[in-house]
Structure 1
Amino acid sequence: MQDVVAIVIGAFAALSPLWLDTNNAAMWSLIVLGVLVALSGLVHMARPEMTAAEYAMAVFGVLLFIAPWVMNFDAFTGASWTAWVVGVLAVVVAVTGLPMMSSRMHGHGGLATHH
Structure 2
Amino acid sequence: MKAAMARWQDWAAVVIGVVVALSPLWMDTNDAAMWSMIVLGALVAVAGLAHMMSAEMPALPWAMGVLGVLMFLSPWVMGFADMAGAAWTSWIGGVLTVLTAMAAMPEGSRLHIGHGGGLATHH
Give the TM-score, by structure 2 length.
0.86
Q: CA deviation at 1:43?
A: 0.3
Moved more, 48-57 or 7-16: 48-57
Residue among 17, 22, 36 paired with 1:29: 36
Report whether the alignment pairs 1:72 with 2:102: no
Matches within 5 A, 1:1-115: 1-107=8-114
Q: Shift of residue 47 of structure 1? A: 0.1
**Secondary structure at the counterpart of residue 105 of structure 1:** coil
Matched to 2:56, the amino acid is: E
User: Match for 1:96: what amino acid?
Assistant: A
Q: Identity over aligned residues, as a percent?
A: 54
Count of matched residue positions in the alignment of Structure 1 and Structure 2: 109
Alpha-carbon distance in structure 2 between the residues aligned to 1:37 and 1:68: 17
- Aligned residue type for 2:29: T
Deviation at 1:75, TM superposition (A): 0.8
Distance across 2 between alignment mates of 1:62 and 1:3: 17
Letter in 2 for 1:57: M
CA distance in 2, matches of 1:52, 1:106: 15
Between the aligned partners of 2:50 and 2:59, the Cα distance in structure 1 is 10
Tell me how far apart the structure 2 counterparts of residues 34 and 103 of structure 1 sit (CA, whole Å): 27
Write the deviation string for residues 62-109 of structure 1: whole angstroms up to 9, x where unpaired.
Answer: 0000000000000100000000000000000001111111112105xx
- List, as ranges, runs of 4+ consecutive aligned residues in structure 1 with deviation greater than 3 Å: none
- Name structure 1 gaps, 5 residues minimum: none
For normalisation by structure 1, the TM-score amounts to: 0.91
AA aligned opposite 2:28 = D
- What is the root-mean-square deviation in Å for CA atoms of aligned residues? 1.3
1: CA distance between counterparts of 2:106 and 2:48?
16
**How far, CA to CA, are the matches of 2:22 and 2:81 in structure 1?**
18
1:21 counterpart SS class = coil
Structure 2 residue runs of 5 or longer lacking an equivalent are 1-7
